[in-house]
Chain A
Amino acid sequence: MITQLTTSLYNQLVMAAPDCLQPGQEPKTFTDIRSQSFRKFKQLGFPTMKLEDWKYINLQGLVNQSYSLEDSLPGRPVAHERAHIPGLASYHLVMVNGAFRPDLSDSIEDSGITVMPMAEALDELLFAKHFAAYADKTDNPFVALNTALFQNGLFISFDKGSVAAKAIHIIHVVAGSESLFSQTRNLIVMGPNSSADIVETFITEQGAGKSLNNLVSEVVLEESARMQHYILQTASSQSSYLTHTEIHQSKYSLYNNYNCTFPGASFVRNNINVRLAEADVEGHLYGITLTADDQLVDNHTIVDHLKPHCESYEWYKNIVQDASTAVFNGKIFVREDAQKTNAFQQNNNMLIGDKSTVYSKPQLEIFADDVKCSHGCTIGQFNEQSLFYLRARGIGEEQARILLVHAFAFDVTSRFSNEAVKNYVERLVEEGL
């Protein structure tokens, strides 16, 4: 008797796993990691709201349905112009349903920079050294699932001293009418003294079906490496995202993350963890979340100070409209060794919708004694006095609101070092109101 029980994603994955984890196809060490991760995922299962880290989001609707686990048309034509950023000199790297598409992408001519699909990187020394060495240390079940079963993704490495002359713009496109569960796994290794602007944009092709996208990226900055990392979530409502970005920093390195979410994708959960693993490191996290309709956007961040003389600056701004929800959960750890730490965190919220909700939870755990740490959180609405002042000068109500939202976001947008991206984000904020 044949019974069809593939009604939930979990069952589907359990059934598909043995094929994926079969020995012999991939290097044994790698298959071992995958098998181990799958056991971990099975043990953890999909997170429920009973877990502290997942208490504001109900995943049941998303995971209690079945999806295609593979793109039925891997080489499909896709338009990605919508993601292009005016005035940004960039190399486009296009990912369709999780898979890197060299045929749609620019090749990078700067010396010392390597780009390849993850599947071809398994024999790289850097892969062996760094893959699953960071993100998998966390207890995020979606990382375990990703490690166990991902098939696609990007491997980018920067040799010592290499510099990307243009921004590297990774465009993640969801396309095709089927319901799709896709997984992407990226590894970016910035060698000593290398430097790059990396921009990631998420878009949905018109007419695309429902999708759930599970992305895990590990980012490694070796000594004195510098990276500006912009994340622009501009996908449409039928697309949902679980992302996990784990950053590992060595001595003297600088990492800036600018995480921007706009109206569209109905469900977005970002985990961004930056580990300041050696002394004299700077790691900064900035965020602008502008939500609308019944969107849910949940940003969970960890800033982990492990060694002395490091500095971190975190500033998240949420602007929630309509019946949408934004979550900010920011943990800062200052470990025993991390003397002379400078850690700052601020989360400001602007509640615009009558039915909108914000959950903000800053958490500081400090185990060193000679440190400077501060955090704060505010929740407000439009300031009536400011609004009247602007209107009394002839500025229409709508334009006045736009000016005030720009002003609200200014603490964050003013930190963008890339002018073209900054202008683009300001425009998206305006369009999203």
Chain B
Amino acid sequence: MLSIRNLQASIEDKQILRGLNLEVGAGEVHAIMGPNGSGKSTLGNVLAGRESYNVTGGSVTFDGKDLLSLSPEDRAREGLFLAFQYPVEIPGVSNINFLKTAVNEIRAYKGFSPMEAKDFLNMVKEKQGLVEFDAKLANRSLNEGFSGGEKKRNEIFQLAMLQPKLSILDETDSGLDIDALRIVANGVNQLRSKENAFILITHYQRLLEYIVPDFVHVLYKGRIVRSGTKELALELEEKGYDWLKETVDAEAEKAI
């Protein structure tokens, strides 16, 4: 489904991604872990098409299409979804109106007519339940005055509404208490299917107890330096990121 080859990206002339490779197939859940500043959010943003990041090399194909040549909206319409680490607040844009616009633009892209108001509201109700999202929140301005946890739940609510093929969750677990974490994880688990895939970006192993990944990768200095199964996450948790940094840096020195 997603194939990333030798991806290199910079921001403000600072090289962040330095040759990243990753293959994600349909039905798979990949976790990407790594110390702060290693480039995890950069990867998510580059895949979603944020223009402030410059792709300086490599390629990304998404279901056979050249992802990097698409506008951010077309990537979303093709089925890519980024749950933001820091969702923005947009006062004056209602959550519902925003979602209706998004759902219908994606439908229009695929050649479908706008959703009937009744069907849309039924879907809202159903998906709200999935992430135990308060009905009142859905009627408010987009993320305005939401707590950190409410914002993250709203991201998953949107994910449920838009039904993407590939979802990238950027530290959706950070700042969540254990109940909220369970709600978010439950939501994601119910959305998992053979057809879609997830990339879970996380700093901690905690989330992976609730959403069990098929693969775990460690990102460090803009490259994937270790890949394995869920045991890798446990090892990392146990030995810590300092251990990882030391061994990886030592390997790099030896190579020179």
Contact = CB atoms under 8 A, between A and B. Distances in A.
Contacts of B48: 388, 392
A408 interface: yes
A411 interface: yes
B105 A386 contact: no
A407 B72 contact: no
B87 interface: yes
A390 interface: yes
A394 B102 contact: yes
B106 interface: yes
Contacts of A399: 101, 105
Interface in A78-93: none
Nearest to A400: B73
Interface stretch (B91-99, B125-133, B244-252): B91-99
Given A392-B48, A392-B82, A386 B88 contact: yes
A403 B109 contact: no
Interface string B83-118: 010011011110001100110011001000000000
Nearest to A408: B92
B168 to A, nearest CB: 10
B71, B82, B88: residue with the most chain A Cβ atoms closer than 10 Å? B88
B90 A393 contact: no
A404 B101 CA distance: 13
Given A388-B50, A399-B101, A394 B162 contact: yes
Nearest to A385: B88
B104 to A, nearest CB: 9
Given A399-B105, A403-B98, A391 B72 contact: yes
Nearest to A411: B92
Given A392-B48, A394-B102, A395-B101, A406 B92 contact: yes
B52 interface: yes
Interface residues of A, number: 24
Contact of A393 (B91, B97, B109, B158): B158
A393 B87 contact: no
B210 to A, nearest CB: 25
A404 B73 contact: no
Contact of A394 (B90, B92, B109): B109
Given A392-B49, A392-B50, A394-B102, 16 more contacts: A383-B88, A389-B88, A389-B90, A390-B102, A391-B71, A392-B76, A392-B82, A393-B98, A393-B102, A393-B158, A394-B162, A407-B90, A407-B141, A409-B92, A410-B91, A410-B92
A389 B91 contact: no
B189 to A, nearest CB: 22
A400 B105 CA distance: 11
Interface string B57-91: 00000000000000111011100011010011011
Interface string A370-403: 0000000000000111101111111111011001
B85 to A, nearest CB: 12
A302 B169 CA distance: 52
Contacts of A397: 71, 73
A59 B214 CA distance: 72
A384 B52 contact: yes
Interface string B36-53: 000000000000111110
A384, A393, A399, A403: residue with the most chain B Cβ atoms closer than 10 Å? A393
Contact of B73 (A386, A395, A407, A408): A395
A408 B141 CA distance: 12
Contacts of B109: 394
Contacts of A410: 91-92
Given A404-B90, A408-B92, A394 B71 contact: no
A407 B141 CA distance: 9
B73 A396 contact: yes
A389 B86 CA distance: 10
Contact of B90 (A384, A386, A391, A411): A386
Contacts of A394: 73, 76-77, 102, 105-106, 109, 162
B93 A391 contact: no
Contact of B98 (A383, A390, A408): A390
A395 B91 contact: no
29 contacts: A388-B48, A388-B50, A389-B87, A389-B90, A390-B93, A390-B102, A391-B73, A392-B48, A392-B49, A392-B50, A392-B73, A392-B75, A392-B84, A394-B77, A394-B102, A394-B105, A394-B109, A395-B73, A395-B102, A396-B73, A396-B105, A397-B73, A399-B101, A399-B105, A403-B90, A403-B97, A404-B90, A406-B92, A406-B93
